[in-house]
Structure 1
Amino acid sequence: MRRYLQLLLAAVVLLTVAGFASSAYAQEREIDPNMDRGDRTLPQDSEILPKVIHRINLRGADSFDKVGSEVSATGFAAPTGGTGTVGPLRYHNGPLMNTPVVYIVFYGNWNQTNGSDTAAGQQLIRDYLHNVGGSPYFRLNSTLAASGQPISGNVTYGGDTTDTGSLGLSLSDTSVLTAITNSISAGKLPNDPNGVYFLISATNVAETSGFCSQYCGFHTASNTGVGHIRWSFVGNANRCLNGCAVQTTSPNGNAGIDATISVISHELAETVTDPDAGNGWFSRSGAENGDLCNFTFGHAQFQTSNGSFANLTVGGKNYLVQRLILHTSTNDHCMMSSTQN
């Protein structure tokens, strides 16, 4: 199943009702406005399975918890305002991904003069995906391996293609999927059963089911004419920095792409641990590992030469990416590595 986020007002109402209806759930995890609760409703396009989204940043850009301002720097860290543990995530006996191969359709105009939708911006994304696999950060996902379903924590970057707008510049969920499958059918991307296919849109592209108003990205899986594929939409956060970024000066000098990379991390980690969006790892509320730590960055943060904050260095570049789940036999914790919160 895919999960689809409600409008903010509806979500607040649902949370209020849920809080009174289930004291057990209220004790299970803290409620933070930036944590996606995995609300499940019908998606925009009924022929596509429900999707799992990356909630927008409700506090706006430059309002995130910088180093030292979340919780005590000792021990395990929780999402903002939390108690030290989150979840718990529960395994629902479905497939997991051991060593995924990431493919990208860069959609829209990636040759703009806005300093974000550029060849250099695309290369930042490639560099990250080339290097994050096997890092202590991404190996956190291996703590969610299950019997007969290993997760190595490795990632391979398989390549990308560019579509300047063959389906227009206002995309539905179905259009996103079609753009991906068209690229596979045309031989621009391999048909890889171990693939995770991202469509990353430029700032001039709208995703009409709620990009920038409800979410920053989503992932799902679909049976298509080219087979069963796991896929994700992530838009360039430059289109809505106040909703999908946490700082307007960023480690690599491209606030939109730097923020987009954190969303990619979120969706990729969730695809590894819940590839078919409904029978892998998620909590009682439907939240996946990325959701439970959404827009939290922990105590690995350091200030870079341009004054921005980062918490991860891979391939010689600094990034600010959200934390992921460290799963233990008793608790789940938001971490940057097995020892660093």
Structure 2
Amino acid sequence: MRFSTLGALLITTALNLVSAQGQVSTISNQTSSLISNYGDSFKNAGGKVLNDKVNVYIVFYGNWSSSESQTEQTTFMNFVNGVSSTSWFTTLKEYTGNDGNAVTGPLNVAAGVIDSGSHGLTLNDSNAHKQIITDAVNSGYLSATNQIDSDGIYVIMAGKDVQDKDFCHTNCGYNGYSDQFQYMFIGYPGTCPESCIPPPINQASPNNNPAIDAAVTIFSHEVQDILTNPRKDAWTMDANGTTIELGDFCAGSGVSEDVWFGNMQQTDNNAKYNIEVGDQKYLVQTIFSKNKKQCLLSSD
């Protein structure tokens, strides 16, 4: 059997690992070219957002058995479980669905499982990612009733031994959906640090692990998209054949670090960060405020 729970028990309630704090800076004084060109025309195309409490289910795929890997799991889950209590998350409340309900959170890590490689360690497409999630749910390790949570978020966090066809080449992570659920895939950034670890934390990172700190940064991008555009019919637009989602406004080619990350602080080991969740520091992507037409670390 390839599935195993995180520690001895299935996580079925909040982790009680964090108490959230605010970030250390507020806004970026610049805007990206996407904001200049498309900020005013970015509207809801008619779909729903994920509002109210959103359960997050995490599949750590591959080899996560070492003590370092277990620390990485905790670092990642602490962020996911606590970030919605920070003022960084409040900018997302500007985004409403076709029913008028706004993204409010909280995010809640409802369950987590280690899958050591049920579909092999070389993954070829999104169908494999979806099947990994479906199998994890059906195994009982993500749901005591083997039921999909259609209003939740499923996360595949790949281990360092996992190869994915598009990872490192086309993306560092992405979000998608099936008929029943929305999900994101994040590859292990240490596999290709030059592509998937942001320069501010490439050498030194706030949790002394550039790979998992980069995974948090990637999550901070993808969660913006998946909350505001879970089925690809809400906060999205076409720009000359390119699909734009919320997270794209403050990241990507040609976007300065000031816009991408806002005003960063520095730890004693020269690692940069811009948010605190509990007693841990992280580097997150800013969020495009449609009201202020800026990339923000906080709307306060």
TM norm structure 1:
0.70
What's the CA shift string for 1:116-168, capped at 9, x where partnerless?
Answer: xx100011011101110131111211111245232114211112100001111
Find 1:221's aligned residue among 171, 177, 182.
Answer: 177
| Deviation of 1:267 (Å) | 1.0
Q: Distance in 1 between matches of 2:28 and 2:266?
A: 22
What's the CA shift string for 1:34-73, capped at 9, x where partnerless?
Answer: xxxxxxxxxxxxxxxxxxxxxxxxxxxxxxxxxxxxxxx9
What is aligned with 2:44? Answer: 91
Find 2:238's aligned residue among 266, 284, 287.
Answer: 284
Contact 1:86 1:334 in 2 (8 A): no
Distance 1:108 1:134, change over 3 A: same
Find 1:332's aligned residue among 283, 293, 299.
Answer: 293
Unaligned runs of 5+ in 2: 1-25
Find 2:61's aligned residue among 100, 103, 107.
Answer: 107
Q: Distance in 2 between matches of 1:156 and 1:193?
A: 15
| Deviation of 1:74 (Å) | 7.9
One-letter identity of the residue aligned with 1:91: N
Contact 1:201 1:235 in 2 (8 A): yes
What's the CA shift string for 1:171-215, capped at 9, x where partnerless?
Answer: 12211111110011111112222210011100110111x100110
SS at match of 1:218: strand
Distance 1:302 1:150, change over 3 A: same
Find 2:223's aligned residue among 268, 276, 291.
Answer: 268
| Deviation of 1:95 (Å) | 1.0
What is aligned with 1:160? Answer: 112
Root-mean-square deviation over aligned CA pairs = 2.3
| Deviation of 1:252 (Å) | 0.3
What is aligned with 1:211? Answer: 167
| Deviation of 1:87 (Å) | 3.2
What's the CA shift string for 1:282-339, capped at 9, x where partnerless?
Answer: 23322111111126444331001110100111111110111111121xx632111114
SS at match of 2:268: coil
Unaligned runs of 5+ in 1: 1-72
Distance 1:269 1:90, change over 3 A: same
TM norm structure 2:
0.79
Q: 1:125-274 to 2 correspondence within 5 Å?
A: 125-146=76-97, 147-172=99-124, 173-190=126-143, 191-208=148-165, 210-223=166-179, 228-246=180-198, 247-274=202-229
Contact 2:47 2:234 in 1 (8 A): yes
Distance 1:273 1:83, change over 3 A: closer
Give the share of equivalent positions with the same residue, in percent.
27
One-letter identity of the residue aligned with 2:152: G
Q: Distance in 2 between matches of 1:86 and 1:332?
A: 11
| Deviation of 1:86 (Å) | 6.2
Contact 2:261 2:283 in 1 (8 A): no
Q: Distance in 2 between matches of 1:321 and 1:309?
A: 10
What's the CA shift string for 1:65-106, capped at 9, x where partnerless?
Answer: xxxxxxxx9874324xx5975632221010110132111000
